[in-house]
Amino acid sequence: MKLILASRSPARRELMKELGMPFSALASDYPEDMKAYRAQWRLAKFLALGKALHVAHKLPEAVIIGADTFITCRGKNIGKPVSIADAKRLIRYMSGHIIKVYTGVAVVQTDTKGNVVKKITDYAVTDLTIKKMSAAEVDLLAHQKDALHISGAFSIEGEGGKMITKICGDYNNVIGLPMYVLEKMLKKITSRA
């Protein structure tokens, strides 16, 4: 059985290496609908499953992992910015507040024809306390290389990590793949029971 990560995220690929199992990555171009559900936990699971199912038909006899990470701040879902100006706006909105990082995870198994025979979903949430940022710090984060490709416009790795004063929950979830949750799901989906 092949193990496939349905993501183009370099951070998720690095985390997958920690499992010690061979895997391949295939980017899922699933269109994210951030308004599909109001409950964030449900939305995270829905988007992760959509990403896994979007590529499943191409992958016979495989276990496919889909993941989706987004942020909420003050009850509002925050996705990827569309421009540098939008990134600055999002970062200013989160500055000085607690944000919640949700990652939905889906694990899907296919048969010899690429039909889905099993699917499970779960999620993790981690709280981050963000310091009050200066205009220069906001500008610095908004101009980071990956700012337009990640939820909330900044990553816990690098400069973004310097803006976080407290973490409550799974650090790997913030990077984009809660490993404890994923390992439990892989054991469950590959068991015969």
- Which parts of the chain have pLDDT scores under 50? 193
Topology adopted by domain 2-190: Maf protein (3.90.950)
Task: Give the pLDDT of residue 193.
Answer: 46
> Which residues face 118 on adjacent strands?
109
Of 104, 84, 95, the C-alpha closest to 144 is 84
User: Could you give the residue numbers annotated as active site?
Assistant: 68
Question: Is the separation of the CB atoms in 169 and 127 below 8 Å?
Answer: yes
Task: Give the pLDDT of residue 29.
Answer: 85
Whole-angstrom distance, CA of residue 53 vs CA of residue 93: 33
> What are the domain boundaries of the chain?
2-190
Residue range 89-128, pLDDT digits in tens = 999 999 999 999 999 999 999 999 999 999 999 999 999 9
Task: Give the pLDDT of residue 178.
Answer: 96
Task: Give the pLDDT of residue 192.
Answer: 59
What residue type is assigned to position 57 of the chain?
A: H
φ/ψ of residue 173, rounded to 5: -60, -40
